[in-house]
Chain A
Amino acid sequence: MIFARRGADLPATIESIQRQVYETQRIIVVGGDSDARQVASAHDVEWIAGLGAFIESGTDATHLWFVLDGVSPRPDALGALVRGQIRLDASVAGSKILDEENPDRLLSVGFATDVFETPYTGFDEDERDQGQYDVVRDVAAVGGQSTLIRTDLARGLGGPDVTVAPFAAAVDFCQRARLRGARVIAVPSSEVLAPDDRPELDRWRERAGRIRAMIKVYGPLTLLWALPMAFLSGFAQSFLSLFLGRWRFFHWLRAWLWNLVKLPNTLGERRAARKGRVVGDSELFRYQISGSVALKSVTAELSDRIRRRLPGEDRLSIEAVGDELRRPSFIVGALALAFVFLATRSIWSGGLPAVGFSLPFVESGPGAISAYAGGWNPAGLGSVEMLRPFTALAGLIQTILFDNRRLAEYLLTAGSWSLGIWGVVRLLRTWGVRAVAGTLAGIVYVAGPAAQAVAQETAVGVAIAIGLIPWSMRFALAPFPTSWVSRIGRIAALAVIAGISAMFAPLTLAVPVIALLVWALLNLTDGTAWRAFGVSLIGAILAVPLLFPWLGVADLYRFVTDGEAYWAFPIVTATVVAIAAATTLVAAPQRLALVAGWGAIAAAAGTLLARSAGFGAGREIETVSLAVVSLGIGLIVGPSFEAITRVREVGGWRRIVAGVSVAAAVFLVAASTVTILGGRAGYPGDEYREAFTFSAARPGDPTASRILVLGAPGNLPGDDRLVGGAAYRLVSAPMPESWETYLPSARVGDDALAKTLETIIDGETKRAGELLAPFGVRWIVILAEDERDPFADAWKTIFVGQLDLVPLGGGLDNATFESEAENAVRAISTEGSTWTRAGTGYEGTPEFGVGLEVRENANDRWGPGDWQQIGWANGTTAAVGTVSFNPIENRRAQAIAAAVWLVALSGVAWAGRRFG
């Protein structure tokens, strides 16, 4: 039975079988496409589509010899197998597998496995066949390249599992056979030549097959611990593989997702496999080794690499370091990853700091997605105004990560840094900048002065999008594929990256396009530069639909003008950047100098935009411009380091100038590493957690009320509103979340709140708590920048003299008051029962025939039941126990369409890479 599964050299396999000394009764090609059928016909052998029907139909043969296409058995391979099997009364016998390209090299002589079904041969990487394993023996499994199986066993087991990859199928079959008491042996005298398929072991299909095999054969108790261990072990292996330059996370993830989809089928197969078993798991463990083979393999390879990277005793260390600087290096990559880990460690332990515009991600990822897709905007007193796409994307990622928001915050931050560094390395490779210089440039890009300014501005979306910008540019600049399928896939991939970046920070969509336009203008006659610009432009245009429904309804003018764009750059750092740019421009070889010049233009233009408050530019423009500045600095630093290594091209006075350039670049790298000190990826320290979470310790459910936050303009969480020149805003207790960052336009409730605050400020009441209670305000927190903050003092003056506000001490850093007024809650039934916040809606005790006042800005989509407007708020029924905002269908449809578009683009990108 020749399995035509891989599109390999089928004719050669048929011919080698036809040359067997021990003649076969029939030769049958199983599966494959029409080509396989034609080959079979040409060689006068049978062809069948699948094995199942053939086995079931009955055959007079006592044994079946399964051979994979592309395998070349030696003439006596079958005879040896038959003799060995009969002699030992085995049910399954496998051949010795030798590398077809180097027949002296051993690939396998049967193998053991670990508990996760990963094959283990025990061979060294290039172990030669010197007969050292030439003994017939029992094994856990044999490779599927050449296997002799008793026909009755094959019939009982239903043949190999054709849904999984070859290695996994072989292990699976042998395990199932052993479960029935069958004996599996390796017969070294039977030799076949085969391609080395072992690298495939790490791919998702093999991983998925192994998981499926585990589920099929192991007992429940074994599965209870083995499956979680397999999951974690796979994750660890994928992580460690990063240090080997292999990206295996998607393989790991995809394997599990595949099994999730296939689970019903797998459970059916499991029933069939375990029915009639004669041994238990202990028999399966007999030929297994302890631990994880895959994990051991990766760690062994890592150790080997580290050992090889260490300078030898026979060479000067300086020389070794010099060598390292001149070639892509594992050590620098590892150091970069260590840098990312250290610089983001606080986010791992505590999540993103709650300060400025950085607020914790939404507690429920699916809730965030729902709120974005036509749901309620819970900021302030609520609104139908769209949330930003960031909310949806962060929610989606959080949902994928088991709805663990801290994990999502960390992975997005650390992942963005890692991607950013890696992306700059790849981007600079376009112009021949090697890995070390690229990595250092990447560090400056993600953690340099401009990137730190982005973090200091707490522009979380831009900070994350920074990791994707170099990839957008790299995809546009990389050599264009020759096939149209690949080209379309490339553009789709670019659109996916640009779109995701834009969802984090919409203005970043324009950054690669404009940057590449400038590059094209600098290289006016270079067609590839213009093509890169064109590809980038098309990708950006294709990414635009991903921003819907936000793009369709957002007030874009307000979006770009909110706040004031003014970056007070550090003079010393700016001078160093200028020196690095000027010296690189002068000293570097032409191509590198142009890259540095391009970076300098980006840095200068970004700085101009980041300081363009005078032209009406707002905060969004400032932060995205800072990302451009950071990109520019990275494009200066990379060529600067690279130039010094070009000994032949940069000599004489140029070398001295290049030295100055490198000194400046080193300064910038050093300035970037200060982010390690805080460990918060450059973000400022947390300010709001302590300021707000006291409310969780107060009697009652804090989620039933709001906190009125007061202070100086720009010193409150996210957006603020002004009254009497001072700032205020409402946030949810006990802690506001990221979807509350940006306040929507003022609506009727917000106007009422403003008037109430004016009344309080004018001293027309001494019971501010009573006036604020209808807005759900139970606490008032006055945030002060320092002890002499005039805004905080002004607010304190107003609220200290209120009769129904109790100051809270207890070591709180900020002046904090608690209202004594009754019913200072966000939602209350007419019977006086308090409802608590649940996502963007509310929940409470169902009360039939009782009304509920929902103190959000009035909107007739609040329900269930008949809606009525109560002042600025909503009136509905308390009968159901929950109230929520009925989503706006049009927006939801647009959001779904955008998601479909993202999936479609991703599919096209994958197809282009796979089939192009």
Chain B
Amino acid sequence: MRRIIAGIIVAAVGALALAQTEPIDVRPPDFGAPPAETIGATGDPSAWYCPWVVSGALRDSTFNLASMMDVNATVTLPNANPTEEPGVSEVRLRGPGARSIDAGEIVRRGTSPGVVEFDDGPAVVTTAMWSEEILTGDRCVASVPKEWNLVGGITAEGFTLELQLFNPFAESAKVTVEAITEFGRSPLAGFESVDVPGRSWLITDLSRVIPFLDMATFTVTSESGIVIPSLVLNSEDDEASWPGTGQSTIWDFPVTSLPGLEPTLVISNTGSVGATVAIDLFTPDGPIPDVDGRIVAPLEPLRIHLSDLAEPPFAVRVRSNAPIGALIQAAPAGTFPRTDVIPPEEEATIDESTDEATIDTSEGEEVEEPVVYSGLAAMPGNTDPLERWLVPGLGVVPGAQTSIWILNPSGEDATVTVSPLGVSAVRSEKIVIPAGHYVEIPVPSLSESGNSGMLIDASLPVSVAVSIAGPQGVAFIGGVGVG
């Protein structure tokens, strides 16, 4: 009897034990995903990586800082020789304020990519670099995705293209670089797994690796560690540089050209399906939506000569139904090869209108000879219109004319307050930007105004960029919004 009782108890308890279920597995952590690319500055401490800075016997460079708050900033220029100390400069920035730091005052040893750390924010950084022959500048980056896109490469005759891979971190990085050209995906021999030592950088002349290409987009993927890539394009006249970006369905270009330069838009689709792209132009006379629309096939980068669509100047918005990369490049007419085919009718129309314009001009009375620039400029667009922008690095290049370009892509008029940042207490100005228009605000040089930055507050989301143009060359620098 007792055996049976024991057996029953065992069976009952055993069945209950079997019925117990395993606790739910621990969910994966809610962090650790590769950071999405953000262009905006946030109200937190931040570090900005500026991959293309050269300060030597021929070139000068500045780190252009602007902040909304009182911040301490540390500019660190790593030394490629690990046995030597990096160059470090610490500055105090009263907010809202702006300041430019000459890289040569920290260390003057040629290529000097740097890191700028802020202990508070929002604060942003751009760079400007010039010599007697070139002028270029970049927006620095604060987010470091695992995969970068570099659109707008060209290795055709007359161009040299360099890829700069900057690793500001202590850990060595291992990256893979792939190229997408007009011939599709092109493997880069020796770039399958490139080691970039910690706190160092690597410069590769892509013109030697894949020469004679009119169109090349590069993807840089980190297997381990992190790098900040940028492309540096040299023509006979000038140099342009631009950092790697992510992809987006909207790209705004508040500035696309200056007098004497012809704007081209480079679009690259690294996805697996074609992207339907529409181009809106914002001319002084008003917006021209959907001035061009086309399907950009995967792995087929495309260059569009925007002057074929309308007479510059104008701002541009590129819309797409799939994430794409987009870049504006401007240079004197004929600099960039034509790869897009224009239908004969359109060509005739354009020629006609051009003729008319020529006639109109010739018929006018005495016209002041406009300033014509020669150089090479390139700029990735802005992905998000924002209501507040910090624009550093204004008027820092000697002898060059700096302008801020503000695009109001919305359907309503935007009231924009422009507040200079610097040592002189210039009053803020308010301007109204009509719906679908852009404005250019020329900025006096730093030596004249004492101000090297601008805070832009808008009643509606706008997009901002900077142009610097002078006898040395031309540079377009994307704005940095305050998120």
List the B side residues contacting A604 at CB < 8 Å: 9-10, 13-14, 17
- Closest partner residue, chain B, to A763 (CB atom): B35
Interface residue from B3, B32, B47, B169 paired with A797 (Cβ < 8 Å):
B32
Q: List B156-208 residues whose CB lies under 8 Å from chain A.
A: 168-172, 198
Q: How far is the CA of A612 from the CA of B10 in the complex (A)?
A: 17
The number of inter-chain residue pairs (CB within 8 angstroms) is: 138
- Closest partner residue, chain B, to A793 (CB atom): B32
Interface residue from A585, A767, A796 paired with B6 (Cβ < 8 Å):
A585
Shortest distance between the CB of A526 and any CB in chain B (Å): 11
Interface residue from A566, A568, A605, A791 paired with B28 (Cβ < 8 Å):
A791
Q: Can you give 20 A-B contacts (C-beta < 8 A)?
A: A523-B2, A585-B6, A593-B3, A597-B10, A600-B7, A601-B6, A604-B10, A605-B13, A607-B14, A608-B17, A614-B21, A614-B23, A724-B30, A762-B44, A767-B117, A790-B28, A793-B32, A795-B29, A797-B33, A803-B170
B7 near A585 (CB under 8 angstroms)? yes
Interface presence of B272 (CB below 8 A): no
- Closest partner residue, chain A, to B12 (CB atom): A604
List the A side residues contacting B33 at CB < 8 Å: 794, 797
A597 near B35 (CB under 8 angstroms)? no
Interface presence of B220 (CB below 8 A): no
Interface presence of B27 (CB below 8 A): yes
- Closest partner residue, chain A, to B42 (CB atom): A764
Interface residue from B6, B10, B26, B172 paired with A712 (Cβ < 8 Å):
B26
B45 near A725 (CB under 8 angstroms)? no
Interface presence of B323 (CB below 8 A): no
Interface residue from B3, B32, B198 paired with A597 (Cβ < 8 Å):
B3
Interface presence of A761 (CB below 8 A): yes
- Closest partner residue, chain A, to B226 (CB atom): A801
Shortest distance between the CB of B18 and any CB in chain A (Å): 8
B170 near A806 (CB under 8 angstroms)? yes
B13 near A601 (CB under 8 angstroms)? yes
Interface presence of A1 (CB below 8 A): no
B17 near A607 (CB under 8 angstroms)? yes
List the B side residues contacting A793 at CB < 8 Å: 32
Q: How far is the CA of A568 from the CA of B170 in the complex (A)?
A: 43
- Closest partner residue, chain B, to A818 (CB atom): B170
B3 near A761 (CB under 8 angstroms)? no
Q: How far is the CA of A613 from the CA of B24 in the complex (A)?
A: 10
Interface presence of B20 (CB below 8 A): yes
Interface presence of A581 (CB below 8 A): yes
B6 near A522 (CB under 8 angstroms)? yes
A803 near B21 (CB under 8 angstroms)? no
B13 near A726 (CB under 8 angstroms)? no
List the B side residues contacting A801 at CB < 8 Å: 144, 169, 226
Shortest distance between the CB of B158 and any CB in chain A (Å): 38
Interface presence of A707 (CB below 8 A): no
Interface presence of A586 (CB below 8 A): yes
Q: How far is the CA of A582 from the CA of B14 in the complex (A)?
A: 13
B10 near A601 (CB under 8 angstroms)? yes
Chain B interface residue count: which class? Answer: 35 or more
List the A side residues contacting B47 at CB < 8 Å: 765-767, 803
A608 near B6 (CB under 8 angstroms)? no
Interface residue from A578, A594, A607, A725 paired with B29 (Cβ < 8 Å):
A725
List the B side residues contacting A603 at CB < 8 Å: 10
Interface residue from A585, A608, A763, A794 paired with B3 (Cβ < 8 Å):
A585
- Closest partner residue, chain A, to B11 (CB atom): A604
Q: How far is the CA of A593 from the CA of B6 in the complex (A)?
A: 10
Interface presence of A598 (CB below 8 A): yes
List the A side residues contacting B10 at CB < 8 Å: 581, 597, 600-601, 603-604
Interface presence of B345 (CB below 8 A): no
- Closest partner residue, chain A, to B38 (CB atom): A763
Given contacts A594-B2, A598-B6, A607-B14, contact A791 B169 (CB under 8 A): no
A residues at B contact (CB < 8 Å): 522-523, 564, 566, 568, 578, 581-582, 585-586, 590, 593-594, 597-598, 600-601, 603-605, 607-608, 610-614, 712-714, 724-726, 761-767, 790-791, 793-798, 800-807, 817, 820
Q: How far is the CA of A761 from the CA of B35 in the complex (A)?
A: 11
B20 near A611 (CB under 8 angstroms)? yes
Secondary structure call for the B interface = loop
Interface presence of B34 (CB below 8 A): yes
Q: How far is the CA of A763 from the CA of B170 in the complex (A)?
A: 17
Shortest distance between the CB of B123 and any CB in chain A (Å): 13
Shortest distance between the CB of A821 and any CB in chain B (Å): 12
Q: How far is the CA of A692 from the CA of B350 in the complex (A)?
A: 72
B31 near A724 (CB under 8 angstroms)? yes
List the A side residues contacting B225 at CB < 8 Å: 800
Q: How far is the CA of A790 from the CA of B46 in the complex (A)?
A: 26
B144 near A586 (CB under 8 angstroms)? no
List the B side residues contacting A613 at CB < 8 Å: 20, 22-23
Q: How far is the CA of A600 from the CA of B8 in the complex (A)?
A: 11
List the B side residues contacting A724 at CB < 8 Å: 29-31
Chain B 304-315 interface 0/1 with A at a Cβ cutoff of 8 Å (1 = within): 000000000000
Given contacts A585-B7, A614-B20, A614-B21, contact A794 B117 (CB under 8 A): no
Among A614, A725, A803, the one with the most B-chain Cβ atoms within 10 Å of its Cβ is A803
A790 near B29 (CB under 8 angstroms)? yes
List the B side residues contacting A714 at CB < 8 Å: 26
Those 10 A-B pairs whose CB atoms lie nearest each other, nearest first: A794-B32, A597-B6, A766-B47, A608-B17, A726-B29, A611-B20, A604-B13, A807-B171, A806-B170, A764-B44
List the B side residues contacting A594 at CB < 8 Å: 2-3, 6
Q: How far is the CA of A330 from the CA of B226 in the complex (A)?
A: 67
List the B side residues contacting A564 at CB < 8 Å: 23
Given contacts A566-B22, A725-B28, A794-B28, contact A578 B117 (CB under 8 A): no
A566 near B20 (CB under 8 angstroms)? yes
List the A side residues contacting B144 at CB < 8 Å: 801
List the B side residues contacting A611 at CB < 8 Å: 17, 20
Q: How far is the CA of A363 from the CA of B225 in the complex (A)?
A: 38
Shortest distance between the CB of B479 and any CB in chain A (Å): 22
Shortest distance between the CB of A119 and any CB in chain B (Å): 57
Given contacts A585-B3, A604-B10, contact A726 B171 (CB under 8 A): no
Q: How far is the CA of A677 from the CA of B83 in the complex (A)?
A: 49
Given contacts A522-B6, A794-B32, contact A764 B45 (CB under 8 A): yes
Q: How far is the CA of A566 from the CA of B24 in the complex (A)?
A: 11
A790 near B32 (CB under 8 angstroms)? yes
Interface presence of B341 (CB below 8 A): no
Q: How far is the CA of A791 from the CA of B29 in the complex (A)?
A: 6
A713 near B26 (CB under 8 angstroms)? yes
- Closest partner residue, chain B, to A804 (CB atom): B170
- Closest partner residue, chain B, to A593 (CB atom): B3
List the A side residues contacting B170 at CB < 8 Å: 802-807, 817, 820
List the A side residues contacting B3 at CB < 8 Å: 585-586, 590, 593-594, 597
Beyond A608-B20, A611-B20, A801-B144, 6 additional pairs, beta carbon < 8 A: A564-B23, A597-B6, A613-B22, A613-B23, A795-B29, A804-B170
Shortest distance between the CB of B255 and any CB in chain A (Å): 30
List the B side residues contacting A713 at CB < 8 Å: 26
Shortest distance between the CB of A799 and any CB in chain B (Å): 9
Interface presence of B359 (CB below 8 A): no
A802 near B169 (CB under 8 angstroms)? yes
Interface presence of B16 (CB below 8 A): yes
Shortest distance between the CB of A716 and any CB in chain B (Å): 13
Shortest distance between the CB of A882 and any CB in chain B (Å): 36
Shortest distance between the CB of B147 and any CB in chain A (Å): 14
Q: How far is the CA of A594 from the CA of B4 in the complex (A)?
A: 10
Shortest distance between the CB of B51 and any CB in chain A (Å): 15
- Closest partner residue, chain A, to B28 (CB atom): A790
Q: How far is the CA of A598 from the CA of B32 in the complex (A)?
A: 52
Q: How far is the CA of A515 from the CA of B409 in the complex (A)?
A: 80
Q: List B224-269 residues whose CB lies under 8 Å from chain A.
A: 224-226
Q: How far is the CA of A800 from the CA of B13 in the complex (A)?
A: 51
List the A side residues contacting B14 at CB < 8 Å: 578, 604, 607-608
Among B5, B169, B198, B225, the one with the most A-chain Cβ atoms within 10 Å of its Cβ is B169
List the B side residues contacting A790 at CB < 8 Å: 28-29, 32
Q: How far is the CA of A761 from the CA of B26 in the complex (A)?
A: 19
